Amino acid sequence: MKAKPHHQHPLFKIAGKHSTRPALICGEETLTYSELLEEAKQVASGFYQLGLREGQLIAIGDLSIREMIISLWACFLGGFIVFPLNIRFPATALAKILTDVKAKIIISKATYPDHKSVAFHELVRQAGELDNLDLPPFREMGAATLLMTSGSSGDVKFVQHSHHNHLESAKGSNQNIQLTSSDSWLLSLPLYHVGGLSILFRTLLSGSSVIIPEEEDSMLELIDNHIITHISLVPTQFQRLLKDQSGPRILHEMKAILIGGSAIPQPLLQEALSHCLPIYVSYGSTEMASQITTTTRSRPRSALENSGKVLSGRDVIISQDGEILTKGETLAQGYLTKTKLNDLRDNEGWFHTGDIGYMNVHGELTITGRMDNQFISGGENVQPEHIERLLSKIPGILHAIVVPRQDMEFGFRPVAYLEIDSQFLEGDEINSQLRNQLPGYMLPQTYYELPSEFMNTSMKISRQELIKLTRSGNISLHVL
C-alpha cells in the first residue's frame, strides 16, 4: 500500500491491532477487521475503476446493511464523500435530491431517473488489482459524509461532516460509555440517521463488533443470543422492548442502553430505573455528529430530570433568551446547498440549536422545548413540551404531542395527540388531573388518539404533520 502509515485511515490501525476480532456479525457470517479492510479496499478500487476521484460525492441507496457498511468504509478509504440515502423517501423525491447535491453515482439495486446507478456486486466485480491500488492520504479534516436532516419546519437540510467530526464524536462518547474490543453494539438505527452512523465510529475506535440484525430477528432474542453489550434506541423502540415479558431481564444484562432522538416519557424512565437498567439518556443533533450531552452511570436518576453533562470535544452555553448554543470538534462543516457549503455558525462560532433549556449546578442540561414550537393563546405564551411532560406522567399515556389550533377568541388553543395503552381514557378525566398543575389556557381543548402513521422518516413523531392536520380541520381520528 503506497499511503504512508501516518496518512492512513484509522481502519488500517484497528485492522492491524485487532485483525482477528469480529468487526461485523450478521446471522451466521462474521467479518473480522482485517477482512473488513480488504473488502472495503476492493470496493474503493471499484470506485476508481469507474472513473471516480477523491472528493466526489457517492450516494448509497437500496443495499443490504452489510453492503452499505462496506461501501461506507470504502468511501472513507478512497477519499470520497458518502451520502447514505433514506430510501423511505419516494423515488422521485430522491432523484431530485441527488440532482441538488450533485451525486456522481448511486450504489443501489434501485435506479433513479437521470442518475447513474451501479449494483454492489457489479462494483466488486469491476474492482482492479489491490496491489496497484493507490489510496489517497487520509485527510482527517476533509469532508466525509453528507446526511439529510429535517428541522422543526420540515425542510430537508444536507449536513456535511468531516472525518474529524465523526471521530471526535466517537471519542467523547467512548469516554463516557465504556466500550472495549470484547463488546458489541447492535445496529438498531438506520445508517442514514446520525445515531446509526455514529455506531460505526465508536466500534471502530474500540475494536468492538457491530451486530447487524436480520429482518426476521427479534431484537431481544438477538441481544440474548449474541450477548450484545450496547444498543442505541429511540424512545419508541425502548418502550416496545420493555413491554415484552422478557425485556427487563434481557436488557438488565447489557452494559449500556443509549436513548435519544426525542423527548423520553417520564414513566418509561421510571420503569427502566426500577429494573436497574443501564440507561444513558442523550441530547444531540445531526449537526453535532450525534451526542452533545449524555447522562453518566454515577448519577442514573438524573435521567429523570436532564440529558446529562456535555461530552468532551463539545461546548454548550445558554443564550439570554434560553436557547441552547453549541460548538466544538464535532460541529459539522456546514449545510450543503447545491454545490455551495453554507456555514452554520454565528459570528462567535456557535451553532443555534433552536432548543430551549438550562444547566443545573452539576453542569447537566435540561431541555424544556423548541423555540419555534411556542405559540400565544390569549396573550399568554404556551410551550407545548411543558404540557407534554405533564401528560406523559398520567398512567395510560405513552406519548403526547401538543399543537396549536386556531381559535376566534384566543388566537390559538392547545390540542393534544396521545399514544395510549389499553387503558380507557377520556379528555375530561385527563384535564381533571392537569388542572392543579396548569392554568386554564394551557389545558388542551381536545384529545385525539395518535395513529402510528404519524412517525416521520427520522424515527420521530412528526409535529409538523400534526400541525398541518390540525390546521386543515379534516381530522377523522378517534377523540378521547
Main-chain phi, psi angles of 206, to 5 degrees: -105, -10
Residue 384 pLDDT exceeds 50: yes
103 contacts: CB under 8 Å, gap ≥ 6: 57, 58, 59, 83, 115
Report d(CA 72, CA 24) in Å as an integer.
13
> Residue 261: its pLDDT value, please?
75
> Residue 284: its pLDDT value, please?
95
Mean pLDDT, all residues of the chain:
88
- The CATH H-level (homologous superfamily) assignment of domain 144-371 is ANL, N-terminal domain (3.40.50.12780)
11 contacts: CB under 8 Å, gap ≥ 6: 33, 36, 37, 40, 73, 76, 77, 204
Q: How far is CA 72 from the centre of its chain?
A: 17
Instruction: Convert the pLDDT of each residue in 46-104 to its tens digit.
Output: 999 999 999 999 999 999 999 999 999 999 999 999 999 988 888 888 888 898 898 99
Residue 459 pLDDT exceeds 60: no
Residue 151 pLDDT exceeds 80: no
135 DSSP 8-state letter: P
pLDDT band at 174; cut points 50, 70, 90: very high
Share of the chain above pLDDT 70, in %: 92
| Between 321 and 427, the higher pLDDT residue | 321
Average pLDDT over residues 305-327: 95
Q: Which helix (H) or strand (E) holds 299?
A: none
Q: Three-state SS for 210?
A: strand
Average pLDDT over residues 290-297: 96
480 DSSP 8-state letter: -
Average pLDDT over residues 138-159: 84
Residue 358 half-sphere exposure toward CB, CA atoms < 13 A = 7
Parse the chain into domains and list their residue ranges.
1-17+31-139, 144-371, 374-472
Could you name the CATH architecture of 1-17+31-139? 3-Layer(aba) Sandwich (3.40)
Residue 3 pLDDT exceeds 50: no
Average pLDDT over residues 269-294: 96
Average pLDDT over residues 136-142: 95
pLDDT band at 7; cut points 50, 70, 90: low
Average pLDDT over residues 184-201: 96
> Residue 6: its pLDDT value, please?
45
> Residue 276: its pLDDT value, please?
95
| Between 2 and 110, the higher pLDDT residue | 110
> Residue 156: its pLDDT value, please?
81
Residue 302 pLDDT exceeds 70: yes
Report d(CA 265, CA 234) in Å as an integer.
11
> Residue 449: its pLDDT value, please?
84
Residue 334 pLDDT exceeds 50: yes
> Residue 419: its pLDDT value, please?
83
> Residue 480: its pLDDT value, please?
61
> Residue 432: its pLDDT value, please?
87
pLDDT band at 2; cut points 50, 70, 90: very low
Q: Does 144-371 match 374-472 in CATH topology?
A: no
Residue 324 pLDDT exceeds 70: yes
Strand (E) positions, 131-201? 143-150, 156-162, 184-186
Q: Three-state SS for 368?
A: strand
Q: How far is CA 89 from CA 144, 148, 153, 156, in A?
A: 23, 11, 17, 11
What is the Rg, in whole angstroms, of the alpha carbon atoms belonging to the chain? 23
Q: For cell 377523540, what's the residue? A: 479
Residue 371 pLDDT exceeds 90: no
> Residue 64: its pLDDT value, please?
93
Q: Which of 79, 211, 210, 88 is nearest to 148 (CA)?
A: 88
Average pLDDT over residues 109-121: 87
- For 374-472, CATH number? 3.30.300.30
Could you tell me if 177 and 208 are in contact, meaning their C-beta atoms sit under 8 angstroms apart? no
- Residue 336 grid cell: 450543503
330 contacts: CB under 8 Å, gap ≥ 6: 165, 166, 168, 169, 172, 288, 289, 290, 292, 313, 314
102 contacts: CB under 8 Å, gap ≥ 6: 57, 338, 339
- Residue 67 grid cell: 453492503
> Residue 455: its pLDDT value, please?
52
Average pLDDT over residues 396-421: 86
Report d(CA 469, CA 194) in Å as an integer.
28
In sequence order, which ranges of 50-119 are alpha helices (DSSP H)?
65-78, 91-100
Positive or negative, the CA dihedral 323, 324, 327, 332 is negative
> Residue 454: its pLDDT value, please?
59
Report d(CA 268, CA 293) in Å as an integer.
20
Most confident of 157-166, 301-310, 384-393, 408-417: 157-166
Main-chain phi, psi angles of 324, to 5 degrees: -85, 120
Beta-bridge mates of residue 317: 325
Q: Three-state SS for 466?
A: helix
Residue 430 pLDDT exceeds 50: yes
> Residue 15: its pLDDT value, please?
94
Beta-bridge mates of residue 351: 326
Residue 175 half-sphere exposure toward CB, CA atoms < 13 A = 15
Share of the chain above pLDDT 90, in %: 58
Report d(CA 291, CA 281) in Å as an integer.
10
